[in-house]
Amino acid sequence: MALPKAEDTGNMLEMEMQWAVKAMHHAETYMKLIKAIGGKDFKLTPIDDELYSDFKNNFPELNVVKLNESDFKSEVAKAKWRDFMSKYEHKVKDYNFGSLLRIDCAGDYSEDNTMFVLRTQFYCIEIARNKLGLNAAVKQ
């Protein structure tokens, strides 16, 4: 059975709810991990080092401590991220799946500290935060 094309689905509430539930589960699981063991002690993907290096080269000015939504949501940023992520379509599982990302790495997920991004964006930011020791602040 073929899945419908995104442009043909409109705003299917049921599909949106499934995505939201999966994104929330992913966020909760990730937060439990970094609270328990800290970010430096595990890998998020088999290609963390490649993602990190490529991310640093393509987005050298992006502040991973406290994110600015315009670095993800402006038309220019969207185009740049789209080009960047296309390289990982076959390398990163669910590379363009919706994910929740903390805006300020010192805080937990909350309504004011969360934005919706794509999975590869989540990985790039959180791998950078882990490598820089920024997630140590939330370790319990």
Give the pLDDT score at 81: 96
Give the pLDDT score at 140: 60
Q: How confident is the model at residue 86 (pLDDT cuts 50, 70, 90)?
A: very high
The residue range of the domain holding 78 is 14-138
4 within some domain: no
**pTM for the full predicted model:** 0.83
110 within some domain: yes
Using alpha carbons, list the distances in angstroms from residue 80 to 11, 55, 108, 134.
Answer: 26, 11, 28, 25
Range of lowest pLDDT (60-69, 79-88, 103-112): 103-112
- φ/ψ of 117, rounded to 5, equals -135, 180
Q: What is the CATH number of the domain that holds 49?
A: 1.10.3560.10
Give the pLDDT score at 5: 60
Q: Report the C-alpha dihedral over residues 84, 85, 90, 93, rounded to 10 degrees.
A: 150
Say whether 12 sits in a helix, a strand or coil: coil
Where helices occur in 1-140 by DSSP H, the ranges are 6-9, 13-37, 48-58, 70-73, 75-86, 119-131
Instruction: Look at residue 10 and tell me whether its pLDDT is greater than 60.
Output: no
Domain count, the chain: 1
24 within some domain: yes
Per residue in 39-80, pLDDT (tens digit) is 776 789 999 999 999 999 999 999 999 999 999 999 999 999
